[in-house]
Chain A
Amino acid sequence: MNKEGADPVSSPIEEGVIRAISKVAQGRTVLLESTFEDLGLDSLAIIEAVFEIEETFDIRVPDEEAKSIRTVREAIEGVERLVAGEGKGGS
């Protein structure tokens, strides 16, 4: 978990996702490029992470998306899509 060379966290979404995942990461440093495997998240911990993300952004992550996310970056992209999709009548 070398922080050097990591992309700097820039957006509120990135920050919120990292904070949410950190809650279940048992003290491991969560980086933009971390995979859930790197973070030692098992299937239950991933579901918990998704719940924390939903709480943070007041969104609902669809089942198929919750099951397919494997990296921090995918989570961020998913949240960006969901947040952008709000108000357009779809989810």
Chain B
Amino acid sequence: MSGRVRAFVTGVGVISAIGCDRESFWHSLATGKTGFSPLDPLPPDLGFSHVAAVRDFDPEKRFESRMHQTLDRNAQFALAAAGEAIRDAGIEFTPERALRTGVITGCGIGGSGTLDHSYERLYRLGKTRASPLTVPNIMPSAGASHISMVHGLKGPSFTVSSACASSAHAMGLGLNLIRSGVLDVAIVGGHEAQLNPGSLYGWDALRVVSPTVCRPFSAGRDGMTLGEGAAVLVIEREDLARSRGARIYAEFAGCGMTADAGHLTTPSVEGPVGAMRAALEDADMSIGEVDHINAHGTGTPGNDRTEAEAICQVFGERPARIQVVSTKAFHGHTIGAAGAVEAVASVLALDRQTVPVHPAGCVPDPEIGLAFVDQKPGNETLRAALSHSFAFGGLNAVLAFRRAPGKF
């Protein structure tokens, strides 16, 4: 859209099973290092044994105050990722700027570890009172609140919940609050930590978790692998980013959102198609410009088939030349954080001008009409990328990014 306010990604932070900072995360994606590990201890009678848990995250070392004891794990991830992103952006929050900077995050479930622990006390240990921090830790918006408090950010701040699309929706809202003039800077992202027994059994009951590991778009794929983590991106209006000489990772060019209005757990083709088209239109992006898609790609047989069909509908003959990857093959499904974690992968791909390839163990499925990325492509430039999030309940969000201006 000519004349429209543009927004750039100028800072990135991530906590994931494949790295607790941006460079380790990218290194894992670039070298095919996955983050799956066996559950220890393994809860009895669970139908799966592997998760993508965050390792090498020591809250006691990361936080000076009591936050290592008093915050739910998902909020600790959020704070850590936000700290990295804000340091990376090198942005200073003067009192005036702080008023025009908002924190908008996505979280699907919230402090489920806190809730699980609270129920364990109540039902197993026979305790009749809970920690006073139970409620402030369960609230899904805790991550956004703590980011705002620690960094003194006073603009509109809140958390969006739309299951696996939460942080993609949050990012889209952040972009539109900048465009509409409400914010100059949006600290956007997502946070989730739900690898506790109560949640694991809940997922197991849906029969969507892989008894092996997540292998998106692969022949023989058998489900998703649960992950956890957080990602935060600093988004700034173009003139502000330019005037302070910020390092620009990519343009956050657009966002498309739709609802299937269909089934609770089975995705449609039309909903995702609508979201992709809306994102392209919002970004003023042609289908010929898109060189890479970080797909929702959960690794369930049905999701990947439906998503491939949707991609083919939107891009016609072009899918054979688009590098479609789902980075859930590396960091698992981080639920409410997924949209932001995967957006970070897309933004870094545009910045580094290379896409992650599917890791070993993934093999092409002849029924999927997409190019299967299992080796490094040639020297073609990456102009634009989409990041897909299609949630349970049929809530869809697609984010569109362009490589930074002046790059090539």
Contact = CB atoms under 8 A, between A and B. Distances in A.
Interface of A: 24, 26, 44, 47-48, 51, 54, 60
B259 to A, nearest CB: 38
A51 B129 contact: yes
Interface of B: 65-66, 70, 129, 131-133, 136
Contacts of A60: 129
A51 B132 contact: yes
Contacts of B70: 48
A54 B127 CA distance: 11
B129 A47 contact: no
A70 to B, nearest CB: 18
B131 A51 contact: yes
Contacts of B65: 26
A78 B131 CA distance: 20
Contacts of B132: 44, 47-48, 51
Contacts of B129: 51, 54, 60
Contacts, number: 16
Chief secondary structure at chain B's binding surface = loop
Contacts of A54: 129
Q: Which 6 A-B pairs have the closest CB atoms?
A: A47-B132, A51-B132, A48-B132, A26-B66, A51-B131, A26-B65
A24 B66 contact: yes
A48 B130 CA distance: 10
Contacts of B136: 44
16 contacts: A24-B66, A26-B65, A26-B66, A44-B132, A44-B133, A44-B136, A47-B132, A48-B70, A48-B131, A48-B132, A48-B133, A51-B129, A51-B131, A51-B132, A54-B129, A60-B129
A67 B33 CA distance: 53
Most chain B CB inside 10 Å of its own CB: which residue of A24, A26, A51, A54: A51
A14 B365 CA distance: 68
Given A47-B132, A48-B131, A48-B133, 13 more contacts: A24-B66, A26-B65, A26-B66, A44-B132, A44-B133, A44-B136, A48-B70, A48-B132, A51-B129, A51-B131, A51-B132, A54-B129, A60-B129
Nearest to B66: A26
A62 B303 CA distance: 53
Contacts of B131: 48, 51
Contacts of A47: 132
B283 to A, nearest CB: 44
A26 B68 CA distance: 11
A11 B214 CA distance: 57
A24 B66 CA distance: 8
